[in-house]
Amino acid sequence: MPVTERKGNTMEKVTVNVKLPAEMQKTEELLSVENLRVSFYTGERKKSRDGKIQIIRGFDIKLDPGEIVGILGESGSGKTVSSSMIMQLIEKDEGTIDSGTISFKGTDLVQADEKTLQKIRGRKIAYVFQDPSLALNPYKKIGRQLTDVLRTHRLPYSRQTIVNALAEAGISDAETVYEMYPFQLSGGQNQRIMICQSILCRPELLIADEPTSAIDASLRKKILDLLISINTTYHMAVILITHDFDIARYVCSRLVIMYGGLVVEEGSLEDILRQPLHPYTRELIACASSLDQHDQLLYTLEGTPVTPYDFREQCPFYARCSRRIEACDTAIPKMLTLGKRKVRCIRHTEAES
């Protein structure tokens, strides 16, 4: 079985062949989301549900236990809405699932009742929010917040357990931080604490939504290294949401590319790097930052991202695509399966030309 290994603390990767024991070779699927469509209610009176707009028009993702998959796309492409729907984090009066299935270890989360979802949220699947202020209570000391997580899920807790967990998440002087409030800490420290909080119950899946976007570029790699180490230490599957190809490349083994509320390409990192099939993926690769140099993006995609108000029966990338032809304007391209890869572009065969 080919496994990608990280060499020391560098970006260089080597591929080695690891022979797994027979019982480990066949993995059971951890998560399978198929054809998810999500709408939000519009207007002032959301509860009246008088109008709605479709935000997610086709989201699919599959994960094996211990796998790291990236969801990559520009801001507004639907990464947060689709992934937060996995845990049904959107209030019932805000939005609704129009169709699709979300299977987590065989349980259909779309049909699951609130009690089942509560047992899964935080305990089996954890979500690290982009903005620490959404996850950390400004009025509670860090130690208390983390203890509450274990108490809520009826798991054993002690001061030492929490201090150890903070230290493991890279918090220096964990004893002192235990007694501090979030506002007394830096953005990078709060991000580590959020990650620490999310993995306290040892979930089987961690969803990290742009975990490095609110922190200094120089600390980005350290947070990503923490996610990688959590994945290897606990065999915890990770969905990493990012708009930056270089971040995805550093962490993920497989990528799901999103645009206009749709998955437009999916495949292994290696395949996508070797030959991106969708013109949008090619653009994202061209726009990648450099994690090592901590520089600003040198190049940005031309044009503005499509919004749900512009959605039409055409290729979502039509307005910005240099390869578009008339046929791209007549229907949403179907997702095509090409071996282990998927692409939603009628001109994908010309990707290399």
Ligand X SMILES: Nc1ncnc2c1ncn2[C@@H]1O[C@H](COP(=O)(O)OP(=O)(O)O)[C@@H](O)[C@H]1O
Q: Of 55 and 142, which CB lies nearer to ligand X in the complex structure?
A: 55
- 80 sits near ligand X (criterion: CB under 6 A): yes
Alpha carbon of 295 to those of 216, 276, 302, 312, 336: distances in Å?
Answer: 11, 24, 20, 36, 36
Q: Of 185 and 262, which CB lies nearer to ligand X in the complex structure?
A: 262
Residue 81 binding: pick among ligand X, ligand SF4, Mg ion, none (C-beta 5-8 Å cut-off by kind): ligand X
Q: Which residue has the tokens 């065999």?
A: 235
CB of 347 to ligand SF4, least distance (A): 4
Q: Are 302 and 284 in contact (CB under 8 A)?
A: no
Q: Are 328 and 322 in contact (CB under 8 A)?
A: no
Kind plus residue range of the DSSP H or E element containing 45: none
The sign of the torsion formed by the CA atoms of 18, 19, 23, 28 equals: positive
- 82 sits near Mg ion (criterion: CB under 5 A): no
- Tokens at 28, concatenated: 């059971």
Nearest residue to 239 via CA among 5, 62, 107: 62
From candidates 31, 61, 68, 78, binder to ligand X by CB under 6 A:
78
Kind plus residue range of the DSSP H or E element containing 69: strand 68-72
Residue 279 binding: pick among ligand SF4, ligand X, Mg ion, none (C-beta 5-8 Å cut-off by kind): ligand SF4
Q: Are 188 and 157 in contact (CB under 8 A)?
A: no
Q: Of 40 and 311, which CB lies nearer to ligand SF4 in the complex structure?
A: 311
Q: Of 70 and 73, which CB lies nearer to ligand X in the complex structure?
A: 73
Question: Where does this chain bind ligand SF4 (CB under 6 A)?
Answer: 278-279, 315, 317-318, 321, 323-324, 328, 333, 345-347
- 94 sits near ligand X (criterion: CB under 6 A): yes
Q: Of 132 and 182, which CB lies nearer to ligand X in the complex structure?
A: 132
- 121 sits near ligand X (criterion: CB under 6 A): no
Residue 282 binding: pick among ligand X, Mg ion, ligand SF4, none (C-beta 5-8 Å cut-off by kind): none
* Alpha carbon distance 150, 132 (integer Å): 19
Spell out the residues 6+ positions from residue 54 whose beta carbon is closer than 8 angstroms to its own: 37, 38, 39, 98, 261, 308, 311
CB of 135 to ligand X, least distance (A): 16
- 279 sits near ligand X (criterion: CB under 6 A): no
Q: Are 220 and 212 in contact (CB under 8 A)?
A: yes
- 80 sits near Mg ion (criterion: CB under 5 A): yes
- Tokens at 128, concatenated: 């690290």
* Alpha carbon distance 211, 241 (integer Å): 8
Stretch that binds Mg ion, among 66-74, 79-87, 109-117, 338-346 (CB under 5 A): 79-87
Residue 169 binding: pick among ligand X, ligand SF4, Mg ion, none (C-beta 5-8 Å cut-off by kind): none
Q: Of 129 and 250, which CB lies nearer to ligand X in the complex structure?
A: 129
- 242 sits near Mg ion (criterion: CB under 5 A): no
- How many degrees, rounded to 5, is the angle at CA 237 between CA 249 and CA 222? 50
Q: Which residue has the tokens 């609130």?
A: 114
- 307 sits near ligand X (criterion: CB under 6 A): yes
Residue 135 binding: pick among ligand X, Mg ion, ligand SF4, none (C-beta 5-8 Å cut-off by kind): none
Query: Where does this chain bind Mg ion (CB under 5 A)?
Result: 80
Report the interface residues with ligand X, using CB under 6 A. Answer: 40, 55, 73, 75-81, 94, 307-308
